[in-house]
Amino acid sequence: MDQNLGQDSVPASGSFDKSRVLDVRPLRRLVPVFPSPSNMPSFPTPGAPFVCAPPSGPFPSGVAPFYPFFSSVDSQRPNVYSNTISDAVPINSFRTPPPSTAGARVNGDTGPSKGTRSRFQSQSHSGFTDEDGYDSQSLNMNDVEGTSKSGRLRKRSQKRTRGSGDIVLNSPEVDTDAILSNILLSFNLAEFDASRKTDGDKGSVGCILLIFDLFRRKISQAEDVREAHGVSRRPDLRAGAILMNKGIRTNAKKRIGLVPGVEVGDIFFFRMEMCLVGLHSPSMAGIDYMGLKVSQEEEPVAVSIVSSGGYEDNVEDADVLIYSGSGGNFNKKDKEVMDQKLERGNLALEKSVHRGNEIRVIRGLRDATNPSCKIYVYDGLYRIQESWVEKGKSGCNVFKYKLVRLPGQPEAFSKWKLVQQWKESITSRIGVILPDLTSGAENIPVSLVNDVDDEKGPEYFSYLSSLKYSKPVDSVDSAVACTCSGGCLPGNSNCACIQKNAGYLPYTANGIVVDQKSLMHECGSSCLCPSSCRNRVSQGGLKVHLEVFKTRNKGWGLRSWDPIRAGAFVCVYAGEVIDPSKIEELRGENEDDYIFDATRKPVEPVPGDSHVAPKIPFPLAISAKSVGNVARFMNHSCSPNVFWQPVLRENNKGYELHIAFYAIRHIPPMAELTYDYGRPDKAERRKHCQCGSSKCRGYFF
């Protein structure tokens, strides 16, 4: 029989290879109960009743859906029973044969690849299954709960060491429901009716992305201590799975072409972000597709692809992409390679060649601040011009697809390539007046550029990288410094700075601020921790390559050559601390263009965990007219992408209050950096606003 199997023959009738069958045990042993007709008496039956319900519901009272068949609460109607199982998910009960019998491989398992499918496969609404077992409603179980080597699911509370790839979903230490409920208090989700969940807009997309990133950061902060003890975390997958389960998403309906509310050039730091807004449904697979009715049958067509360097794609041309099909990669387990097959995503791409439909292209680029991670750039709509098969580097046949970008779209990937050429001095930046207006005061040069008119620069000022206090500020409270000589670490209850921040460090391990607070405490000059302490993020100077540039209608502005992640530090507001009583005098002389008044309240506070206005221990006014830094060039916007945060630092003589700026959302390269100038306590003259936002109020103070 082994010989027959090695020749891919079917075993003789009545025989089978027992070595290839797993030891499958029932999840529960229950005594089945069959309903009796209404006119027949009922007989007691020992044991618990056996109830069969479809995986997608409805569910009887006390029964909840299991992963990956999460269902909305509205679809669960109690006390409605079903005695049939529909849409069952098959569990593969066969082992892959050892190398000596590789010819008898079951189900064509080719090992990990772009097209690798999970052992647990979920069927998409279109009738086709997304690759890797992902669809718009679910995540791969290996990435969420983790599985043991035998394939059986471990309990969610079970932990493994760092590098195991497991993510702990529910634990007594982290109450994700409470975290999410607190975040949602500052969002109006009542506007998210069924239509906006199916078809979104710019507002709904921005709202969902804000909720996801705040939720992800809060989970990361809460689990910081556990990571130090060897728990591998993926708060992005965890946050995304919970939001998907609760229906907090938009553009849930798959579509060909543009996605409402998602603009060409938008960037994403997590695959789950693209899932939640409907840009690309699979959280792992590179090809997303849907079914279209053709006559009486349904055929797959590709709707989006992600090219992130995992395959032999040719990505050098900004308008042409040579994309490799999925599957057929080297199989580490069986030590062999296989030709790619014309199925699933590959079949959908081939169908799109003949149909000529538009395909969304997302390019994954290396994150310079974290080389092990990717930044995903939505590069717009493409069409497949041709396809062919060629031998790959591994020697197997690979499908190739030539996609050409449709004309008339905003720049996206081409802009990234141009900025990279500036950095590498391959191409000169047009309109440069000064390569570094800071004269070395910052560790990263800030260029001064005008490619609009002939103006040679802004009014003269002296560059100052920090805040200048004319005299120390006396404090009623005595300053308490931390004694963390090796740096402040999460979970250290003895750290004075952590205590002042309500028991948590305000930054994640990679320097991202968790959320906006009424007041944030950073380590000061009297603290014993080093300058590399993660609670000194705003003290390390610029971390992105900024550019002061001439705008068309707002004077000078500020933008970045680098992408900026939501929550990342941008800069501080530097200048001279002045007497707040002089602000009125300066305004009367129209000399208030470079005045920062920390007593102003934002017109629309940034949604998040803080529901109160910034709370400062004393009035702070900063003049950047004569001395200042890049922050003096940031313009106002009614839909800003940056927010300001008061930061308090202790020193030997008392306190120093500083103003730090952080990104509200992901900011692509060359996008202008703006913040809301806020509303003063007293009535002031209004200035005409030209921010161009769809939410523009027409004025600012």
Q: Which comes out higher in pLDDT, residue 15 or 635?
A: 635
CB 493: neighbour CB atoms within 10 A?
7
Using pLDDT thresholds of 50, 70 and 90, give the confidence band for residue 431: very high
Q: What pTM value is reported for the model?
A: 0.77
What pLDDT sits at residue 650?
85
Given a contact cutoff of 8 angstroms between Cβ atoms, the answer to whether 124 and 136 are in contact is: yes
Q: Does residue 192 carry a pLDDT above 60?
A: yes
Cα–Cα distance measured from residue 132 to residue 139, given in angstroms and rounded to the nearest whole number: 9
Taking alpha carbons only, the member of 57, 130, 118 closest to residue 87 is 57
Cα–Cα distance measured from residue 343 to residue 366, given in angstroms and rounded to the nearest whole number: 30
Q: Does residue 587 carry a pLDDT above 90?
A: no
214-228, 242-256, 367-381 — which is least confidently predicted? 214-228
Q: Does residue 341 carry a pLDDT above 80?
A: yes
Using pLDDT thresholds of 50, 70 and 90, give the confidence band for residue 593: confident
Tell me the CA distances in angstroms from 51 to 3, 43, 83, 659, one per residue in order.
44, 17, 7, 61
What pLDDT sits at residue 698?
94
Q: Does residue 9 carry a pLDDT above 70?
A: no
> What is the distance, to the nearest Å, from the Cα of residue 454 to the centroid of all Cα atoms in its chain?
41
Q: Does residue 628 carry a pLDDT above 90?
A: yes
| Phi, then psi, of 695 in degrees rounded to 5 | -105, 20
Which residues make beta-bridge pairs with 449?
A: 432, 549
Using pLDDT thresholds of 50, 70 and 90, give the confidence band for residue 133: very low
Given a contact cutoff of 8 angstroms between Cβ atoms, the answer to whether 580 and 473 are in contact is: no
For residue 68, cis peptide bond before it (omega within 30 degrees of 0): yes
What pLDDT sits at residue 653?
77
Cα–Cα distance measured from residue 657 to residue 660, given in angstroms and rounded to the nearest whole number: 10
Q: Which comes out higher in pLDDT, residue 465 or 601?
A: 465
What SS3 class is residue 352? helix
Residue found under tokens 């990505």 = 315
What percentage of the chain exceeds 90 in pLDDT? 54
Q: Which comes out higher in pLDDT, residue 587 or 416?
A: 416
Taking alpha carbons only, the member of 210, 70, 161 closest to residue 640 is 210
222-226, 426-430, 454-458, 574-578 — which is least confidently predicted? 222-226
What pLDDT sits at residue 108?
31
Taking alpha carbons only, the member of 295, 271, 292 closest to residue 283 is 271
Q: Does residue 450 carry a pLDDT above 60?
A: yes
What pLDDT sits at residue 59?
57
Cα–Cα distance measured from residue 412 to residue 392, given in angstroms and rounded to the nearest whole number: 29
Q: Which comes out higher in pLDDT, residue 404 or 293?
A: 404
* Burial class for 368, CB neighbours closer than 10 Å (0-12, 13-18, 19+): middle
The pair of structure tokens assigned to 401 is: 């697809």
pLDDT in tens, 18-66: 444 445 455 444 444 444 444 444 444 444 444 555 554 555 555 555 4
Element holding 586 (H helix, E strand):
helix 583-588
CB 583: neighbour CB atoms within 10 A?
22
Strand 575-578 and strand 621-623: the pairing is antiparallel
Which residues make beta-bridge pairs with 94?
A: 21
Q: Tally the C-alpha atoms within 13 A of residue 15's C-alpha that lie toward its C-beta.
A: 9
Give DSSP secondary structure letters for 468-487. E-SSPBP-SSPP-----TT-
The pair of structure tokens assigned to 677 is: 């100038």
pLDDT in tens, 466-505: 999 987 676 656 678 999 999 999 989 899 999 999 999 9
- Cα maximum dimension of the chain: 99
Q: What is the mean pLDDT of the chain?
A: 78
Q: Which comes out higher in pLDDT, residue 169 or 212?
A: 212
For residue 58, cis peptide bond before it (omega within 30 degrees of 0): yes
